[in-house]
Structure 1
Amino acid sequence: MQPLNRNTAQITQARPTKVIQFGEGNFLRGFVDWMIDLLNEKTDFNGGVEIIQPLDKGIYKLLNQQDGLYHVVLEGIQDGQTVQEKRLITCVNHSHSPYADYEQYLQLGENPDLEFIISNTTEAGIAFEPADASPESTPASFPGKLTALLHRRFTHFNGAPDKALTIIPCELIEKNGENLRATVLQFAQHWDLPADFINWIQNDTTFCNTLVDRIVPGFPKDTINEIQQELGFEDTLVVKAEPFHLWVIEAPESVAKAFPTEQAGLQVKFVEDLTPYRTRKVRILNGAHTALVPVAYLQGLRTVRESVEDETTGPFIREAIFEEIIPTLDLSTEELNQFANDVIERFQNPFIHHELLSIALNSVSKYKVRVLPSVLEYHKRKGQLPQRLLRSLAALILFYKGEYNGEQIPLNDTPEVLDFFQKAWQKENAAETVQAVLANQDFWGTDLTQLDGLTALVTQEVEKLQAQAQLRPV
């Protein structure tokens, strides 16, 4: 089997670097670089990527050993059909470590072809680090490294407005672009950088808020031997991902023209406000996950896929999505239904073994953020209570008892939450337990017992689940 590099793969074309990417992890390589590769194939984008390893330890040397080449393997269900695709990614020109050669890193900012900076350095990555005292030595933080690079570019091109860049962070925090801009400006002041540079950042550099969505399990260690045999290469950087992808970017029209994803048929939306799309993802995708877990687990199911395909929990979660969550959202019905159908297909992905217990972590806080807003909005709009979403709440309360049908449930939450439920389940009956849980404003941000009829409905559902357990064989 051949090693993978540009010689063995016969990839001779070098593309001008248009993108600097902070982060060499699975997600960016299976999401952003995959898209850029398709842009190069289907449009006149013709852009290469220089990858920056943001931490001292990483895989930049492995990437360079393969000349930036690696394969993305897509596996899942799309439009009712099983998808298995393998694509050689050729857009990565080189990978760098600022810790190994800081000056080489800064010189990337002098490239006249550079247009974009993209990042994914974890949710904690966009933060000010006062210990980064100067741009003269390698800053520890990502925003510090970015500020130093931008300042080098500003200086090299004498502050030319047309050499300012578009920054597209993919970190999973709200207003990620705005937060990154604020942190860069904080570093500029911390380092006493010129006022002209600060104006260039504020007025000429574009920072985009974004929302990303794709499951990228990463390196397929269980099937890598078979995959490498099919590829004919010893690729040590294979990335596995689902077919579904969505990238919502708040940006001016000029960015959409410079990054022509629509021409490539990619699911990238350039919008003025991504808030409705974030709400859609949290309520439908994340909310359905959270609503499904306790209901399915108490039915004896253990994975997302078998839960969605089950004759009882499958209809339950579909009805919860289409009849109780979607009516609370403000995007077009067509968009919402399409996204919901995509979500169901993603849940059914036979190539991803998604354990319910892995989603069950901190389920109380997840229910508050992901499901409760749908409950309250449904009641506000309809004047009724959403029975399925409240059945999920009942199942959640019973789930946190830590035992069901004679089987122990391995709970994973904060000590405060677990201690509260332990005491709540020592009450005289289920009605008192439910009353205590629903009245806990630390959990829900409000006293749910004040919502007319909610306590009675949840109590009724808890009692039904308790009765079912008594009827089921242990």
Structure 2
Amino acid sequence: MAPLKLNSQNLSQIATAGESQVKVPTYARGGAVKEGIVHIGVGGFHRAHLAVYVDKLMQNHGVNDYAICGVGLQPFDVTMRDVLQAQDGLYTVIERSAKGSFANVVGSINSFLFAPDDREAVIAKMAHPDTHIVSLTITESGYYYNENTHQLQSEHPDIQFDLDPANASSPRTTFGFLYAALARRHQQGLNPFTVMSCDNMQKNGSITRHMLESFARLRNPELAKWISEQGHFPNAMVDRITPQTAPADKTALADNFGIEDSWPVVTEPFMQWVIEDRFSDGRPPFEKVGVQVVSNVHDVEQFEKHKLRLLNGSHSAIGYPGQLAGFKYVHEVMEHPVFRKFVWQMMQEESKPNLPDIPGVNIDEYCQTLMERFSNPTIMDQLPRVCLNASGKIPQFIMPSIAEAIWVTGPFRRLCFVAAAWFHYIKGVDDNGNSFKVEDPMIEELQAKAHAGGTDPAAILSIKNLFGDDLRSDKRFMQQITIALEEISRDGILKTLPKYVD
């Protein structure tokens, strides 16, 4: 039997068509629900995380006023627009683990707006009284945040364009759209919507607030004051490993579940979301579907530190050295006994010691769970995905652990190895001489520094919006990262790695 095309008309048949039963939405959609959430940046992670939580609220708890309107701001979002429109907003989440594969059709994305087609429609949607939350997965570079000065990159051409009042009706950046919609709500006497970052950044809500208020002050100090006094930007910690969808995933979905889906999402069973209970215009009952809603930012920060330093830091330790060594997938790196020891020892001896205790959380069990998740061979998590946009990751995932180890005179040589591996990775050639594409918003500057510096890390460390003076001025750090970069450049990853394993 041929697979069924995923759309609303075929849902009842899809539920029983494949070898295994598929969960499908049975709740009302379309005009029968209100779209209380507008989400900017509909990619794999959003569709495996926030959209899944909302789907559970709609399916299991009758919540019908927080369906999602997806928004794409970038030209490449046109593919997502076309897929979702053809499938009535439906898509499949495939969970894979040692227990097998399970498929669930998600229907919480009720509509999709492609900003290059109609920027006014996006502004109007955010400003609509039914919109209570505007959520974001725009990656680190979408925040225009200077890691060193902690200020808005106001000189960036896109920000400059959006700051020009002449361009008020045709913004380019997330902040341009948020400002325009909030200005309209202010004029209409509405509450500001909550701006809810779901990006994998420490203090994501606080950074979002600071960047938007900075933008607004440059446009209209009065509106900036209203946003500051009335707006809410909850901090959150998000977690679910979501690899890029491969053609083989679509084929397996068709063969095993009888579904023809142009862009399914593959992910792991594990998912976690810790969010601060700070909303300016109401929120769904997230706690009913397993979200950890906490009372203050401090609670979020504790979970955040554990996740960024242990999960994301370890992903960096797997990704950059792993790709240089010629591996393709995360689980392949974890199958290498020396790599596996390295990751565990880095977590236990260098990342973990400076992390806070969280009541009810066993940090060693968390580390063990991470090792199991990294080793899951069924989700086929590709290293290039883990390595994407490192200029926004290494300063958050690796350098803070090094900085704290410097402060307490603790060990950090393995962390230095990871940073040095990234410095070498920037050149885009693996240890076998094969070229690969390095995807990073700062790639031109990074590669220029990497080639100019050679085996001296000082050139890359001179990029002030990535690295602070406390690192550059520490002799022990400079010595260890220089040694690591020299060894990796001379001998390659697999010959150098055993020197960093006890």
What TM-score does the superposition give when structure 2 sets the normalisation length? 0.70
Aligned mate of 2:67, from 48, 51, 54: 48
What SS class does the counterpart of residue 337 from structure 1 fall into?
Answer: helix
Aligned residues of 1:438 and 1:455 also touching (Cα < 8 A): no
Q: Aligned runs of 1:147-162 on 2, under 5 Å?
A: 147-156=179-188, 159-160=189-190
Q: 2:48 maps to what in 1?
A: 30
Q: 1:430 maps to what in 2?
A: none
What SS class does the counterpart of residue 223 from structure 1 fall into?
Answer: helix
Tell me how far apart the structure 2 counterparts of residues 97 and 362 of structure 1 sit (CA, whole Å).
Answer: 24
Deviations 1:294-332 (A, max 9, x none): 877898866432332334432342233224321221133
Aligned: 1:94 with 2:111: yes
Q: 1:262 maps to what in 2?
A: 287
Tell me how far apart the structure 2 counterparts of residues 404 and 93 of structure 1 sit (CA, whole Å).
Answer: 43
Select between 37-46 and 436-445 the one with higher mean Cα deviation.
Answer: 436-445
Tell me how far apart the structure 2 counterparts of residues 35 and 229 of structure 1 sit (CA, whole Å).
Answer: 27
Aligned mate of 2:297, from 251, 269, 272: 272
Aligned: 1:343 with 2:370: yes
Tell me how far apart the structure 1 counterparts of residues 109 and 305 of structure 2 sit (CA, whole Å).
Answer: 33
Aligned mate of 2:335, from 302, 309, 319: 309
Tell me how far apart the structure 2 counterparts of residues 298 and 175 of structure 1 sit (CA, whole Å).
Answer: 31
Q: 2:174 maps to what in 1?
A: 142
Tell me how far apart the structure 2 counterparts of residues 175 and 153 of structure 1 sit (CA, whole Å).
Answer: 26
What SS class does the counterpart of residue 216 from structure 1 fall into?
Answer: coil
Tell me how far apart the structure 1 counterparts of residues 216 and 390 of structure 2 sit (CA, whole Å).
Answer: 40
Q: Give the 3 Å change call, closer, same or farther, for CA 266–341 of structure 1 in structure 2.
A: farther
Aligned: 1:130 with 2:161: yes
Aligned residues of 1:438 and 1:448 also touching (Cα < 8 A): no
How many residues align? The count is: 443
Deviations 1:334-393 (A, max 9, x none): 343343223212211213445667767899997776446545645765x66467657778
Deviations 1:64-83 (A, max 9, x none): 3322111111224xxxx535
1:48 offset after TM fit, Å? 1.2
Tell me how far apart the structure 1 counterparts of residues 334 and 460 of structure 2 sit (CA, whole Å).
Answer: 31
What SS class does the counterpart of residue 74 from structure 1 fall into?
Answer: strand
1:2 offset after TM fit, Å? 3.4
Tell me how far apart the structure 1 counterparts of residues 118 and 394 of structure 2 sit (CA, whole Å).
Answer: 46
Tell me how far apart the structure 2 counterparts of residues 256 and 245 of structure 1 sit (CA, whole Å).
Answer: 26
Aligned mate of 2:99, from 82, 94, 106: 82
Q: 2:195 maps to what in 1?
A: 167
Aligned residues of 2:92 and 2:106 also touching (Cα < 8 A): yes
Q: Aligned runs of 1:362-377 on 2, under 5 Å?
A: 370-371=397-398, 373-374=400-401, 377=404
Select between 67-76 and 384-393 the one with higher mean Cα deviation.
Answer: 384-393
Instruction: Flag structure 2 segments of 5+ consecutive residues without an equivalent.
Output: 13-25, 145-158, 439-445
Aligned residues of 2:94 and 2:102 also touching (Cα < 8 A): yes
1:168 offset after TM fit, Å? 0.2
Q: Which amino acid aligns with 2:364?
A: N
1:224 offset after TM fit, Å? 0.9
1:143 offset after TM fit, Å? 1.7
Aligned: 1:414 with 2:437: no
Tell me how far apart the structure 2 counterparts of residues 380 and 446 of structure 1 sit (CA, whole Å).
Answer: 14
What SS class does the counterpart of residue 8 from structure 2 fall into?
Answer: coil
Q: 2:88 maps to what in 1?
A: 67
Identity in percent: 24
Tell me how far apart the structure 2 counterparts of residues 371 and 289 of structure 1 sit (CA, whole Å).
Answer: 10
Q: Which amino acid aligns with 1:337?
A: D
Q: 2:309 maps to what in 1?
A: 283
Aligned: 1:241 with 2:267: yes
What SS class does the counterpart of residue 207 from structure 1 fall into?
Answer: coil
Tell me how far apart the structure 2 counterparts of residues 364 and 166 of structure 1 sit (CA, whole Å).
Answer: 28
Tell me how large the CA RMSD over aligned residues is.
Answer: 4.7
Q: Give the 3 Å change call, closer, same or farther, for CA 294–448 of structure 1 in structure 2.
A: farther
Q: Aligned runs of 1:223-238 on 2, under 5 Å?
A: 223-238=249-264
Select between 67-76 and 176-185 the one with higher mean Cα deviation.
Answer: 176-185
Aligned residues of 1:5 and 1:67 also touching (Cα < 8 A): yes
Instruction: Flag structure 1 segments of 5+ consecutive residues without an equivalent.
Output: 425-435
What SS class does the counterpart of residue 16 from structure 1 fall into?
Answer: coil
1:227 offset after TM fit, Å? 0.5
1:118 offset after TM fit, Å? 0.7
Highest CA radius of gyration, 1 or 2?
Answer: 1
Q: 2:243 maps to what in 1?
A: 217
Q: Which amino acid aligns with 1:140?
A: R
Q: 1:427 maps to what in 2?
A: none
Aligned residues of 2:38 and 2:68 also touching (Cα < 8 A): yes
Aligned residues of 2:41 and 2:70 also touching (Cα < 8 A): yes
Q: Give the 3 Å change call, closer, same or farther, for CA 16–438 of structure 1 in structure 2.
A: closer
Aligned residues of 1:295 and 1:395 also touching (Cα < 8 A): yes
Deviations 1:409-435 (A, max 9, x none): 7697734334544xx5xxxxxxxxxxx
Select between 354-363 and 12-21 the one with higher mean Cα deviation.
Answer: 354-363
Q: 2:230 maps to what in 1?
A: 204
Q: Give the 3 Å change call, closer, same or farther, for CA 268–306 of structure 1 in structure 2.
A: farther
Q: 2:38 maps to what in 1?
A: 20
What SS class does the counterpart of residue 17 from structure 1 fall into?
Answer: coil
1:292 offset after TM fit, Å? 4.9
